[in-house]
């Protein structure tokens, strides 16, 4: 199948979408990055992984397909980057193991993971979700956004109408701004 320019968003659309990311979407990206890095790589921080995904999107080395939301696209880029880091790290480990066998010596590398960032991100999500615990529609929208689902997927899965979804998004945005301005997040 041949790719055409029509299958991808333009650079202007990419820039607009990145600058329009909501706080909830950014938190979701950070959570994904933290989770991905725990299992794949300790060479990058979550912020570095997100920044690299954004940079690759803006450089158009990773093109944004029309069938994906910007969050889905960035998650896919981060998944790929983390996988590349894991493979690079594994190759380094394999070379080191070969050297160890040849020299008959053992080298142990301490690869401790900083779980404080993960705990902080989870605490932040907890604060946000607690703020909406009485608002079922907003909770469904937040959960869907955290999973990287599209508007249509959230509405279909949660059986929300256009109006219910739109109203929930507005409540989420208003509350997130209030929480940010109040120093809660």
The CA distances from residue 177 to 13, 101, 172, 180, in Å, are 24, 57, 9, 5
Containing structural domain, residue 57: 1-86
The b-or-e profile of 142-170 (16+ CB within 10 A means b, else e) is: bebbbebbebeebbeebebeeebbebbbe
> Do residues 138 and 171 lie in contact, with contact meaning Cβ atoms separated by under 8 Å?
yes
Residue 3 forms part of a structural domain: yes
pTM over 0.85: no
- CB 147 within 8 Å of CB 25: no
Nearest-CA neighbor of 78 among 149, 148, 174, 136?
148
As a whole number of angstroms, the distance between CA 43 and CA 75 comes to 18
Residues 63, 11, single domain; the answer is yes
Here the tokens at position 106 are 């053992």
Q: Is residue 47 part of a domain?
A: yes
Residue 80 and residue 120 in one domain: no
Number of domains the chain contains: 2
Residues 130 and 63 reside in one and the same domain: no
Q: How far is CA 66 from CA 6, 63, 143, in A?
A: 8, 9, 23
Is the residue at 99 inside a domain?
A: no
Q: Are residues 127 and 164 in the same domain?
A: yes
Would you write out the chain's pLDDT as a tens digit for each of its 185 residues?
A: 455 556 888 889 988 998 888 888 888 888 888 777 765 555 677 888 888 888 898 888 889 888 889 989 998 888 888 777 767 666 555 555 454 444 443 333 334 445 566 566 677 778 888 888 899 998 898 888 777 778 888 899 999 998 998 898 888 888 877 877 787 76
Same domain, 75 and 119: no
Q: How many CA atoms lie within 13 A of 59 on its CB side?
A: 9
């Amino acid at each position: 199948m041949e790719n055409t320019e029509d299958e991808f968003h333009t650079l202007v659309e990419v820039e607009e979408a990145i600058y329009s990311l909501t706080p909830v979407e950014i938190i979701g990206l950070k959570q994904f990055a933290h989770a991905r890095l725990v299992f794949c790589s300790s060479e990058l921080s979550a912020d570095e992984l997100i920044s690299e995904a954004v940079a690759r999107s803006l450089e158009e080395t990773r093109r944004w397909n029309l069938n994906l939301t910007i969050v889905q696209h960035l998650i896919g880029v981060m998944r790929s980057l983390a996988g590349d880091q894991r493979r690079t790290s594994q190759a380094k480990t394999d070379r080191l193991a070969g050297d160890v066998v040849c020299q008959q010596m053992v080298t142990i590398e301490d690869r401790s993971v900083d779980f404080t960032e993960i705990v902080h991100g989870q605490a932040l999500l907890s604060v946000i979700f607690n703020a909406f615990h009485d608002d079922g529609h907003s909770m469904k929208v937040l959960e869907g956004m955290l999973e990287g689902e599209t508007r249509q997927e959230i509405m279909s899965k949660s059986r929300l109408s256009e109006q219910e979804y739109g109203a929930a998004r507005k409540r989420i945005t208003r509350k997130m701004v209030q929480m940010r301005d109040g120093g809660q997040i």
